Chains A and B, each alone.
Chain A
Amino acid sequence: MNALKFLFAAYIATWVIHAFYLGTLVRRFGRLHRQLQELGKEK
Chain B
Amino acid sequence: MKRLFPILAVLTAIFLAYALHLALGKATPTDAQQGDVYRIIYYHVPSAWTAFLLFSINFVASITYLIRRKPKADMVALVSAEVGVVFCTIVLVTGPIWARPVWGIWWAPGDIRLTSTLVLWLIYLSYLVLRRFSTSAQTQMLAAALAVFGALDVPLVYFSIWFFRTQHPQPVIGGGGSMDPRMLHVLLINWLAFLCFAFLVCWSRYRLELLHREVEEAHAMKSLQSRAPAKTSLPLNRSPQ
In the complex, what residue of chain B is closest to A34 when comparing beta carbons? B215
- Range for the number of chain A residues in contact with chain B: 20 to 34
B47 and A14 contacting across the interface, CB-CB below 8 Å: yes
Contacts A10-B44, A13-B97; A25 near B205 (Cβ below 8 A): yes
6 A-B pairs with CB atoms under 8 Å apart are A7-B36, A7-B39, A14-B90, A17-B86, A18-B86, A25-B205
B218 CB contacts on chain A under 8 angstroms: 35-36, 39, 41
Contacts A13-B90, A22-B201, A36-B211; A6 near B101 (Cβ below 8 A): yes
Contacts A6-B37, A36-B218; A29 near B44 (Cβ below 8 A): no
Asked whether any CB of chain A lies closer than 8 Å to the CB of B89, the reply is yes
Residue-by-residue, is B39-56 near A (CB-CB < 8 Å gives 1, otherwise 0)? 110011001000000000
Binding site for B on A (CB under 8 A): 2-4, 6-7, 9-11, 13-14, 17-18, 21-22, 25, 28-29, 32-33, 35-36, 39, 41
Say whether chain B's binding surface is mostly helix, strand, loop, or mixed. Answer: helix
Q: How far is the CB of A24 from chain B (nearest CB, A)?
A: 10
Complex: A22 Cα to B86 Cα, angstroms: 10
Complex: A13 Cα to B43 Cα, angstroms: 10
Cβ-neighbour of B204 out of A9, A13, A25, A35 (below 8 A) = A25
- Range for the number of chain B residues in contact with chain A: 20 to 34
Binding site for A on B (CB under 8 A): 20, 24, 34-37, 39-40, 43-44, 47, 86, 89-90, 93-94, 97-98, 100-101, 197, 201, 204-205, 208, 211-212, 214-215, 218-219, 222
A6 CB contacts on chain B under 8 angstroms: 37, 40, 97-98, 100-101
A17 CB contacts on chain B under 8 angstroms: 86, 89-90, 93
B35 CB contacts on chain A under 8 angstroms: 3
Cβ-neighbour of A7 out of B37, B197, B201, B214 (below 8 A) = B37
